[in-house]
Amino acid sequence: MSYVQRCIICPAAFAPLARSLCAGLAGQAGEGMLITGLSPNGAAPATHFISEGMIEDSFAALLPLGAMPGQPESIVALSQGAVTLAQINALLAAVDVSEQEAFVAMARLGLQMIQGAP
Amino acid sequence: MLIGLGIGLPFASAISLAAQIAALFAAGEQGAWYDPSDWSTLFQDSAGTLPVTAVGQPVGKMLDKSGRGNHATQPTAINRPVLQQDGSGRYYLAFNGTNRSITPPIMLGTSLSSMVVAGIGVGEVGRDQGIYAERDGTGAGSINGQLDLSVTSARYVVRGAGGAVDPSGGAVIAVNDRLVLTGSYDGATANLRKNGALVQTAGGAVGAISVNSAGIGREDETAGGAAFFNGNIYGLIVRAAASNAAQIASAERYLNAKTGAY
């Protein structure tokens, strides 16, 4: 098993689908992703959610990265038809995937973490 | 005539630092001893089947060396801290400030006696960041053993139904600081120490404590979620018992050897 670094920033509108797919495809290893909210001014409500760290390279290959488009047909097949190709294409077009550290990617997109009350 | 110059070492120094840490739990005290430099305690997966074998690998399970079995795990792959090595050759777990953390069992629980000692590298200031905390998952409820960074200073918080103690402000922090931080509470007085020196004291009774979550690299806050730590953890000791000056000094010396803070 090998892992690669990925930073995934997902628009809030697509976050429920993304979370469901991560958990469905990766099981426990994919649960609990994309829970940290972001917005342009750091105030709620979240416009995006972020997860950054090491993921299995087999799952990273499903996602777009730079000029590589990802594997939407494979995601549909792995989901056993739970999602359509149109849904996956829309998700992969909306999500930002990079190898950058979290705060570098956030700065590039003009986003800040939403801070909760202590 | 021979003149001998005897140099007597203090008894405590004759015992290795590791043995001194083990002694903190010898009477069955609840808590944990986490040591990222000991790769035999690190696994890439949360089940503990795939050992960490190199820098740059994620840590999904970190074993507790205290004998209490309070191993920390992170089932979500992308949320796992990553083992790294600094320029001095010291090993640490890297936390990114947005989603990485690792979860131990609740150890301090309702205890009114606590000691939390951490060797850290600071990656960010200006907001709350949990190094270790046990909480009840609400914004205003119980907190036990919360050692964290609060804006520009370190802090130790214990809060119960009857009040809170919160020594803070005296341990100013800056990005790239390497620190050994110690928080302790004995039911009446909470102390915060930075790099082997007392920097803040707060007195008070807190009443009954009731927590239901624990985290390394985060503090769970319902209002807005969790406050994640951005930085490096070189080692962590948690002890649910009143700790005397010698015990605190042992823990600080041990973690300073891992951290290189002072």
Alpha carbon distance, N-terminus to C-terminus of chain B: 43
Tens of pLDDT along B102-144?
999 999 999 999 999 999 999 999 999 999 999 997 778 999 9
Window A:1-20, CB contacts with B under 8 Å: 1, 3, 6, 8
Cβ separation A26–B77 shorter than 8 A: yes
Question: Does B12 contact A at CB distance below 8 Å?
Answer: no
Residue among A55, A102, A114 minimizing CB distance to B97: A102
Tens of pLDDT along B9-51?
445 556 899 999 999 999 999 999 999 999 999 999 999 999 9
Task: Pinpoint the alpha helices (H) of A7-49.
Answer: 15-26
Question: Does A57 contact B at CB distance below 8 Å?
Answer: no
Task: Write out chain A residues lying below 8 Å of B97, CB-based.
Answer: 102-103, 113
Question: Does A29 contact B at CB distance below 8 Å?
Answer: yes
Tens of pLDDT along A80-102?
989 999 999 999 999 999 999 99
Task: Give me the pLDDT at residue B9, please.
Answer: 44
Residue B225 has pLDDT above 90, yes or no: no
B166-195 average pLDDT score: 95
Task: Write out chain B residues lying below 8 Å of A39, CB-based.
Answer: none
Residue B93 in contact with residue B80, Cβ under 8 Å?
no
HEC string for chain B? CCCCCCCCCCHHHHCCHHHHHHHCCCCCCCEEEECCCCHHHEECCCCCCCECCCCCCECCEECCCCCCCCCEECCCHHHCCEEEECCCCCEEEEEECCCCCEECCCCCCCCCCEEEEEEEEECCCCCCEEEEEEECCCCCCCEEEEEEEECCEEEEEEEECCEEECCEEEEECCCCCEEEEEEEECCCEEEEEECCEEEEEEECCCCCCCCCEEEECEEEECCCEEEECEEEEEEEEEECCCCCHHHHHHHHHHHHHHHCCC
- Closest-CA residue of B relative to A23 is B76
B63-87 average pLDDT score: 98
Residue B254 in contact with residue B20, Cβ under 8 Å?
yes
Task: Write out chain A residues lying below 8 Å of B100, CB-based.
Answer: 52-53
Q: C-alpha A92: how far from its chain's center?
A: 9
Kindly report which listed range (A61-70, B9-18, B88-97) carries the lowest average pLDDT score.
B9-18
CA–CA min distance A105, chain B (Å): 12
- Closest-CA residue of B relative to A116 is B224
Kindly report which listed range (A77-86, B63-72, B84-93) carries the lowest average pLDDT score.
A77-86
Task: Give me the pLDDT at residue B137, please.
Answer: 77
Crossing angle of helices A15-26 and A85-94, rounded to 10°:
110
Cβ separation A32–B76 shorter than 8 A: yes
Task: Write out chain A residues lying below 8 Å of B99, CB-based.
Answer: 33, 35-36, 50-53, 102
Cβ separation B79–A101 shorter than 8 A: no
Instruction: Note the pTM of the prediction, 2 decimals.
Output: 0.94
